[in-house]
Amino acid sequence: MSYDLVVIGTGPGGYVCAIRAAQLGLKTAVVEKRATHGGTCLNVGCIPSKALLHASEAFEEANKHFSELGIDVGTPKLDLKKMQGFKQGGVDGNTKGVEFLLKKNKVDAYHGRGRIAGAGRVEVISDDGGNQMLETKNIVIATGSDVTRLPGVEIDEKTVVSSTGALELADVPKRLVVIGAGVIGLELGSVWRRLGAEVTVIEYLDRVLPGMDGEVGKQFQRILAKQGMVFKLSTKVTGVEVAEKGGATVTVEPAQGGEAETIEADVVLVAIGRVPFTEGLGLETVGVATDNKGRIETDSHYATNVTGIYAIGDVIAGPMLAHKAEDEGVAVAEILAGQAGHVNYGVIPNVVYTFPEVASVGKTEEELKKDGIGYKVGKFPFTANGRAKANGTTDGFVKILADEKTDRVLGVHIVGADAGNLIAEVAVAMEFAASAEDIARTCHAHPTLTEAVKEAALAVDKRAIHV
Ligand code: FAD
Ligand code: NAI
């Protein structure tokens, strides 16, 4: 078969790229080694984790907060098998949706491992060993990422799990130790804490969510600690010993060195980051260059050093986020069709889907300081927002960072209920190069949490009304 484009991998980057390319008239095929489309995100990432976050949040609401609303449901009972079934329903609905969309857009889908056999040639190797050669003008690599391993710690997906195993537990562990206070550790740690686990999070650095605004990280950690999560920061794991009868002993010591201690766990979740996945892809055969982190090197048009081969998503540099991969998929398809595809990396929102949520877009205060950019800060707490008070969800704040001279919004950081949705309006505003004044002068409906965004924008100019 001969194509204009063959995309390897049907995660959010790959399948979106294929659909956009087909819309633009390119004869397109995808190759996927997994039985279902949707990649990490739909199968073992964004979607199943959000389903469990949603269900466990409902459980915690019923367990702890319904009575505050005057609703007596007694003590709710957990049916974990059913909850896992609910999660799987969400996954199946989404992966089937992608299959439908690929068909609808007349994208040919091949199942098997894709290997670049040479310029313009992709070999599809199926599980039974059979193979097929596809000829193509262009190749887009969208093979995503894999779990980062901790040296000396074997992931068996039962006692020592990655995010994939942590989404599949058949019982609630009594004691869960999470290694890494990043987004996976805090999201999945929240799931199992809500369902009854004692959760201890071990983090090498002296803060949670490195990369996010420092003030946000501090307040967020305080909120999670109040919910019962235990944090051991500035601590390194030096060993994990799995016992024959089940469970594990985790040995830790201060990051700077010092006395070791042990922590007993029923399950240990390793969540220390992800690495680009290019195994078996044949990069060496054609000489595609990678950097020192194993990421495929691309130029601003997603082109690798080999003519006709492009790469997008988790396998290249930048935040490992589904929406970043999707936007790159659209951009590269448009470039291949002769249009001007582009992604604005300054405006990629980042959301942690815990309760409360954490959301950010643009620069953090630390980054602005480092870059020597003068800025003004406008902050507004949810304790002063009418809707948050009415809902009883007053934890957190909105913080807007605007250029000292021009008032242009440079970054926005939110901790609070629904922060993931609240961040969308400021992302749009930033895309249009808005000033804090522009947001402050936009009428926001009352009573909504969005008024906290408006008030934070007013606070940039020291004229918030409700504080
Ligand atoms: P992937 O989604 O990893 O897809 C790559 C695909 O390529 C896979 O299906 C793989 O099987 C296939 N493949 C690999 N090699 C080959 C080959 N040689 N031949 C054929 N097929 C191949 N991001 C968010 O934005 N929001 C979230 O809420 C979120 N939650 C997450 C939760 C978890 C637990 C995890 C692990 C990740 C989460 N992410 C989230 C990150 C998100 O999943 C990734 O950023 C996103 O999936 C990257 O998309 P991609 O298309 O680059 O790669
Ligand atoms: P992460 O990079 O977010 O966090 C890893 C944490 O582990 C960091 O705090 C790091 O300092 C710490 N760490 C590293 N080595 C350590 C060690 N040896 N001991 C103790 N701590 C150590 O990575 P995470 O949580 O694994 O997630 C991977 C990626 O998946 C994220 O970067 C994100 O891009 C994506 N993701 C996005 C989600 C979202 O958007 N809501 C949800 C889940 C994942």
CA angle 252, 158, 36 (to 5 degrees): 125
User: Cα separation of 299 and 317, whole Å?
Assistant: 11
Region 394-416 average pLDDT: 98
Task: Show Cβ contacts of residue 393 under 8 Å, excluding neighbours closer than 6 positions.
Answer: 356, 382, 416, 417
- Reported as a single tens digit per residue, the pLDDT across 33-44 is 999 999 999 999
On average, the pLDDT of the chain sits at 97
Q: What is the sign of the dihedral through the CA atoms of 328, 332, 337 and 341? A: positive
Q: What is the pLDDT of residue 119?
A: 85
Distance 440 CA to ligand 2 centre (A): 34
Ligand nearest to the CA of 151: 2
Question: Cβ distance 123 to 133 under 8 Å?
Answer: yes
Q: Give the tokens for residue 267.
A: 């399950």
Task: Cis check for the bond before 447: say yes or no (omega within 30 of 0).
Answer: yes
Tell which residue, 200, 152, 146, 150, has the closest CA to residue 173: 200
* Positions at the binding site: 50, 114, 143-145, 180-187, 203, 273, 314, 320-323
DSSP element (H, E) containing 138: strand 131-141
Q: Which of 41, 36, 51 is nearest to 11 (CA)?
A: 41
Q: Could you tell me whether strands 261-265 and 267-270 are parallel, antiparallel, or unpaired per DSSP bridges?
A: unpaired
Q: What is the pLDDT of residues 99-122, one digit of tens each?
A: 999 999 999 999 999 999 998 999
pLDDT digits (tens, 9 = 90+) for 89-105: 999 999 999 999 999 99
Residues within a 6 A CB radius of ligand 1: 8-14, 31-34, 39-41, 45-46, 49, 113-114, 142-145, 163, 184, 277, 280-281, 313-314, 320-323, 325, 353
* Domains of the chain (ranges, CATH numbers): 1-145+273-335 (3.50.50.60), 158-271 (3.50.50.60), 348-458 (3.30.390.30)
* pLDDT of 10 higher than 90: yes
Residue 418 CA to residue 407 CA, distance in Å, equals: 26
Cα 206 to averaged position of ligand 2 atoms, centre (Å): 14
**Could you tell me the pLDDT band of residue 129, with boundaries at 50, 70 and 90?**
confident
Q: Please determine, for residue 360, whether its predicted confidence score (pLDDT) is greater than 90.
A: yes
- What is the Cα–Cα distance from 343 to 251, expressed in whole angstroms? 43
Going by alpha carbons, the residue nearest to atom 37 of ligand 1 is 45
State which of 183, 240, 321, 323 you would mutate to test the pocket of ligand 2, scoring each by most atoms of that ligand within 8 A of its C-beta: 183
Question: What pLDDT, on a 0 to 100 scale, did the predictor assign at position 43?
Answer: 98
227-237 residue pLDDT tens:
999 999 999 99
Using 50, 70 and 90 to split pLDDT, how confident is the model at 455?
very high
Distance 143 CA to ligand 1 centre (A): 8
ipTM of the complex as predicted = 0.99
Instruction: Tell the residue nearest (CA) to atom 41 of ligand 2.
Output: 352
Average pLDDT over residues 128-140: 95
Check if 446 is active-site: yes
Q: Which of 129-133, 179-183, 449-453 bottoms out in mean pLDDT, i.e. has the lowest?
A: 129-133
Report whether pLDDT(1) > 90: no
Length of the chain: 467
Q: Mean pLDDT throughout 248-265?
A: 97
Closest ligand to 217 CA?
A: 2
pTM score of the predicted model:
0.98
